[in-house]
């Protein structure tokens, strides 16, 4: 999707900073899923969430200290609350419950739904228009998730 269905466009123009950060974030989350499978911490989902939030705050302190202002515009308060409560607490807790119930390997594939759901939210909330490459990407995402969820175990570890 970064190249809008044209790989040559992606190769010629590269990716912008935000897309690069999203790719790094996706790779970090994939690494988290792998490490979680190998070295699962013996914490409850709530304690695990608390620790993640604590480390997140700790790592963001230098960013906050270097900011010109931490003021939040009144129009942005609802977005900050949504990001802080719905995305950072509720979604993360549900994700951890999914890992606890299904395992990290089966749960990790659902991260691939993130661009699809983001595009749907952009259509519903922002009035964005979907193009052919969006539909192609959505189809590939759904097909990949379907394949992984319904594949037969090979018995090889």
Percent of the chain with pLDDT over 70: 87
Residue 1, pLDDT above cutoff 60: no
For 73, phi then psi, to 5°, come to -65, 140
pLDDT (0 to 100) of residue 96: 80
More confident residue, 156 or 40: 40
> How many CB atoms are closer than 10 A to CB 40?
13
127-152 as b/e, with b when 16 or more CB fall inside 10 Å? eeeeeeebeebbeebeeebeeeeeee
Residue 29, pLDDT above cutoff 60: yes
pTM: 0.57
pLDDT (0 to 100) of residue 36: 74
């Amino acid at each position: 999707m970064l190249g809008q269905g044209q790989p040559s466009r992606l190769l010629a123009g590269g990716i912008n900073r935000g897309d690069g950060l999203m790719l790094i974030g996706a790779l970090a989350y994939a690494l988290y899923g792998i490490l979680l499978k190998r070295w699962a911490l013996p914490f409850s989902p709530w304690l695990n969430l608390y620790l993640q939030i604590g480390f997140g705050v700790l790592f963001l302190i230098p960013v906050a200290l270097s900011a010109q202002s931490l003021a939040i515009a009144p129009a942005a308060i609802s977005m900050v609350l949504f990001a802080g409560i719905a995305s950072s607490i509720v979604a993360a807790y549900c994700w951890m419950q999914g890992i606890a119930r299904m395992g990290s390997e089966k749960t990790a594939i659902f991260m691939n739904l993130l661009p699809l759901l983001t595009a749907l939210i952009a259509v519903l909330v922002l009035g964005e228009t979907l193009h052919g490459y969006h539909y192609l990407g959505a189809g590939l995402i759904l097909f990949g998730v379907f394949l992984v969820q319904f594949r037969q175990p090979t018995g090889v570890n």
